[in-house]
Amino acid sequence: MGKTEMGKEHMADYVDVNGRKIRIRTPEVSEIDENGYFRRQSNAFTGHLGSKEHPVEKGRYILFWSTGCAWSNRAVIVIDLLGLSEAVKTEAVDWTDRPEDLGWEFVHSPGHINPETGAQFLSELYYNTDGDYKGRTTVPALVDYRTKTVVNNDFQMLTVLLETEFSPLHHPEAPDLYPVRQKDKIDRLNSWLYQNVNDAIYRACFARSVEAYYEGYHTFFDSLSVLNTCLEKQRFLLGDYITDSDIRLFTTLARLDINYSRHLGPCPGLSDYPNLWDYARDLYQVPAFRRHTHFQEFAARQDSDRRGQNFRFHPYYDMVVPGTDFPELWSVPAAREKLSSDPPHRFMIK
Ligand SMILES: N[C@@H](CCC(=O)N[C@@H](CS)C(=O)NCC(=O)O)C(=O)O
């Protein structure tokens, strides 16, 4: 049974795809409360990598992610920065072209079948892990391809697990993105970022009441002002070096002008926060950030079309966005080195 509305249960529906019994996607309605606020589902799979059950091993896990998704984009950037790309596979998923809403499909695998797991849809792996799973089947999902089960879809913890538990597999010169002496600060900052920035924008975009919309909207933009002030005198969020927190902020900022604003309606742009705009471009100079930031995908229309939220025609999204070279715009140097006591280096090496 799946929940479609608060308090209402219904039988799950299935369709047959190439002899596979695929469950129809669970809509977000169960995440809207009685006052129209979006309350994100909790992360169902929080397996601790590095435990006896889920040992850290090369060639055992695959991370499914989507180029448009800020939560999963973080993990791919971290894997690249830490030199884990050989040890942990990554594969981008995309929304299925099928008429039924079936969620993420392995469209980049040969014949749409992911070779490590034999699955065609991400949902197959979720229900293989828990046949009674009730939520949306989301990325990021780290899958153990020996057991074909989802070990972890906890976007809050995933990058930290990669930064800590996977350290035996890191490149010898990998940056320290989660230094022990800054751990508490990073954890506190990450919670603040989640509540006030990363999730706040979704609370506005998915709001189903005026009150809920303004809660998300004001929380988000007020927080950008706070961050803009904080970044006036320091290069990165915690000083001279990039940490896990910067990656979390970056993936949200990169989507503001091209994607989130489409759902929000009239709102400020990133360049209205000059320090944040320079800071975002400073991060974009790092190859691992640049390689996994697919502006053209953020600009794609399917997401809003799917939710029926797009404007019919809007010159900005229909002409300006497709006609703008975002990688070039973001490549303009930011000149923030002067704020650092170690200008040539963006990373602390262990
Ligand atoms: N893990 C979190 C957040 C991840 C998340 O929402 N990912 C989105 C993409 S940004 C997703 O995979 N959505 C699939 C769906 O809604 O069916 C959750 O389960 O809510």
Active site residue 213: no
Q: In sequence order, what E strands does the chain have?
A: 2-5, 8-10, 14-17, 20-23, 61-65, 88-92, 94-95, 104-105, 141-144, 149-152
Predicted pLDDT at 305: 53
SS3 at position 312: coil
Strands 8-10 and 2-5: antiparallel
Q: How far is the CA of 336 from the centre of ligand 1 (A)?
A: 34
Contact 263, 304 (CB under 8 A): yes
Q: Is any atom of ligand 1 closer than 6 Å to the C-beta of 71?
A: yes
- Which residues, other chains included, contact 135 with Cβ-Cβ below 8 Å and sequence gap of 6+? 26, 30, 41, 44
- Indicate whether residue 153 lines ligand 1 (CB < 6 A): yes
Distance of CA 110 to the CA centre of its chain: 25
Task: Give the C-alpha separation, 288 to 18, whole Å.
Answer: 37
> Does the C-beta of 23 come closer than 6 Å to ligand 1?
no
Distance in Å, CA 334 to ligand 1 centroid: 32
29 Cβ contact list (under 8 Å, min separation 6): 4, 5
Going by C-beta distance under 8 Å and a sequence separation of 6 or more, which residues neighbour residue 319? none
Q: What is the pLDDT of residue 306?
A: 54
Rounded Cα gap, residues 166 and 58, in angstroms = 10
- 287 exposed, middle or buried (CB, 10 Å; 0-12, 13-18, 19+)? exposed
Residue whose CA is closest, atom 14 of ligand 1? 138
d(C-alpha 87, C-alpha 171), whole Å: 10
**Catalytic residue of the set 37, 133, 145, 202:** 202
Ligand 1 neighbour 26 (Cβ under 6 A): no
Q: Is 155 in the pocket of ligand 1 (CB under 6 A)?
A: yes
Tens place of pLDDT per residue across the chain (350 aa): 333 344 444 567 999 999 999 999 988 778 999 999 999 998 999 999 999 999 999 999 999 999 999 999 999 999 999 999 999 999 999 998 898 999 999 999 999 999 999 999 999 999 999 999 999 999 999 999 999 999 999 999 999 999 999 999 999 999 999 999 999 999 999 999 999 999 999 999 999 999 999 999 999 999 999 999 999 999 999 999 999 999 999 999 999 999 999 889 899 999 999 999 999 999 999 999 999 999 988 887 655 455 555 556 788 888 888 889 999 999 999 999 999 999 999 999 98
CA 141 to CA 72: how far, in whole Å? 8
Question: For ligand 1, what atom is nearest to the CA of residue 26?
Answer: 17
Burial of 80 per CB tally in 10 Å (0-12, 13-18, 19+): middle
CA gap 197, 223 in Å, rounded: 7
Count of CB atoms situated within 10 Å of the CB of 267: 16
What was the pLDDT predicted at 1? Answer: 35
Does the beta carbon of 39 lie inside 6 Å of ligand 1? no
CA distances 215 to 37, 196, 199, 202, 221, Å, are 9, 10, 12, 11, 10
What is the pLDDT, as a whole number, of residue 3? 39
- Domains belonging to the chain, first-starting first, are 42-169 (3.40.30.10), 180-339 (1.20.1050.10)
Query: Using an 8 Å Cβ cutoff, are 117 and 128 in contact?
Result: no
What residues have CB less than 8 Å from 30, skipping those under 6 apart?
3, 4, 5, 6, 41, 134, 135
Radius of gyration of the chain measured on its C-alpha atoms: 20
Structure tokens at 236: 């990165």
The best mutation among 24, 71, 126 to test binding of ligand 1, ranked by most ligand atoms within 8 Å of the C-beta, falls on 71
Measured on CA atoms in the order 113, 114, 116, 118, is the torsion positive or negative? negative
Residue 4 three-state SS: strand
Q: Is 162 exposed, middle or buried (0-12, 13-18, 19+ CB in 10 A)?
A: buried
> Can you spell out the DSSP letters for 221-289?
HHHHHHHHHHTTS-SBTTBSS--HHHHHHHHHHHHIIIIIHHHH-S---GGGSHHHHHHHHHHHTSHHH
Q: Strands 61-65 and 88-92: what pairing?
A: parallel
pLDDT at site 2: 39
Atom of ligand 1 nearest to the CA of 136: 17
Known catalytic residue: 202?
yes
